[in-house]
Each structure stands twice: as C-alpha cells, then as structure tokens.
Amino acid sequence: MASWQAHLFSTLTRLTLKRKLKGTRDAARVRQLLTPKPSALPLGVRVTPGEVGGVPGEWAESDNTRGLRGLLLYIHGGGFMACSSETHRPIPAYLAKLGFRVFTPDYRLAPEHPFPAAIHDLIQVFLAMAGEPPVPVSVAGDSAGGGLALSLMLSLRDAARPMPKSAALFSPWTDLACTGASIRSNEKKCAMFYGDDLIACANSYLAGTPATDPLASPHYAKLTKLPPLLIHVAADEIMLDDSIRLAEHAREDGVKVQLKVWPVVQHAWQILAQRLPEARESLREASEFLT
C-alpha cells in the first residue's frame, strides 16, 4: 500500500509543477521550474565539488566507511536540458549514506549542447572513475539520466571498453520517439508531464538526429552484453512503457533484469528521499542490487 506521503506529493506535483510545465518550450524557464529548494543532507554525508575526466560535478561521501559499497556514477535527469548535480543532490546523498562514494557529473545540456554531447561527457567520466587497470564502478540514473546510463553502457560495449558492474535505472527515458502507449494512456494520471511536452523536449535534445537512433533511444538498440539492470518505475507516469519494454527487450537479449512498478508515486520519486518512504525504500533496494 502506498504511503500517505506518496498520495500527497503526487497530488501537489500534479496541481503545481505539471501545470506550469505544460506548453513550456523555453529552456531557461524549464530549468527554473525544475530547480527545487535546497534540502538538508542526511546526517554524516558531505558533498564537495569535483571534476572527473574533465567534467565538473559533485562528490557525495559518508562517514559510513565500514559499509563502503564502492564507486557509483550517478547521472541526473532533467529531460536532457535541465537540472544538475545540485538539483538532484538528495539521491546521491542518500546513496552515499548507504555506503557508496558517488560522483554526479554536470554533463552538457541541450539545446546548447545537443546529442551526443552528454554521452561523450559521461564516457570521459566513467573511464576516469574506472581508471587503469579498471576498478569496479556501478551506474545509476533517473529519467533522461537513466536513458543516458544505457547510452553510456552501449557506447562502452561497442568500443570494447570497461563496463559498469551493474546499473540502477529510475523511470528511465529510453524511447525519444515516444511510441509507448502510456504516453497517452497515463497522461491524465501522470503527476508531472504531458505527452506533447515530452516530445518537444526530445526534439530539443536530438536537434535533427532521428529519434530512433539506438544511441539516443536505447529502446531501439540491441542490449546484449549489458550488465545486470534494476529498473524502478511509477505505475501512473507517461514513461511507464519505456521501462516495461526495456525490461522485455533486455531479457530477450540475455541481460539479467529486475523490474518493479510502484503505485501512486510520481516520476523519478527518488529525489524525495528526505520526505518519501517509497524513495528511501527504492534507493535501499538499488544499493543492495548495485553492491
């Protein structure tokens, strides 16, 4: 059964943020709307600015060294055009509390830097984190960041480079052609987005690249030889089918997958880790999977 907090935040988001985002095409305005008020860090967690592979970002670490789970690259969402390590700090901070040393890069954003700039940045970050000889690094990401995590892994696989040992994907956006039935069937229930706004956001990032390009939309890629995947998605969001079909395709291609569909919660609800029980539960499950 979903918590009362899940019902509350989904309703509030639907009545406020979703209405403000509707029809918004200006990147500066979208960035403003998707920048939340700063939240306190979990006890014992520290965040420091850093740079990995020439890409700026933030390190999140914890005093919980006894339970250190290893290195984690976290890729924030924001429709490829908004958000940052700072806006998504609650997620890597909570994962740091659980024992990871987490780097969240500020990869380049569209429309100033369209596809594939963000992927190039993430390749540099991952290879620098892994080092030479490589050490194990896990990857996680939400929304567009979840799609970018897949694009990163596909790029590393095709170049025969070191791969993440596992990946956790929260409401990943995998099909920029937006062909999933849920983009319309869930449009009224979704707490955050309308389908047409999602399509406009994809076009801004693609800048003329076909939406079916496998590197831009991993839904159209062969997923063979990817590491184990954990996928968490909200039942009511318009991106539901991106996760459902990703899990199906991954299994068909021989990839180990765990898929969980969560009721009531909103898209990428893990960002509410300080306030939402389901967010903390999702992140705890992800941490166990990634370890």
Distance in angstroms (rounded) separating the CA atoms of residues 112 and 100: 32
Distance in angstroms (rounded) separating the CA atoms of residues 96 and 192: 27
What is the pLDDT, as a whole number, of residue 66? Answer: 52
Which parts of the chain register pLDDT below 50?
Answer: none
Mean pLDDT (the chain) is: 96
**The dihedral of CA 259, 264, 269, 273: what is its sign?**
negative
> What's the pTM?
0.97
What is the pLDDT, as a whole number, of residue 65? Answer: 53
**The dihedral of CA 214, 217, 222, 224: what is its sign?**
positive
The neighbour count for residue 260, using CB atoms within 10 Å, is 12
Catalytic, out of 58, 267, 282, 287: 267
What is the pLDDT, as a whole number, of residue 84? Answer: 98
- Residue 181 token pair: 């039935």
Task: Give every CB contact of residue 6 below 8 A, 6+ residues apart in sequence.
Answer: 263, 264, 265, 269, 276, 277, 278
What is the pLDDT, as a whole number, of residue 39? Answer: 84
User: Is 249 a residue of the active site?
Assistant: no
**194-223, pLDDT tens digit by residue?**
999 999 999 999 999 999 999 999 999 999
Catalytic, out of 84, 237, 249, 287: 237
What domains does the chain contain, in order, with CATH numbers? 4-290 (3.40.50.1820)
User: Is 85 a residue of the active site?
Assistant: no
Catalytic, out of 84, 85, 138, 143: 143
User: Is 113 a residue of the active site?
Assistant: no
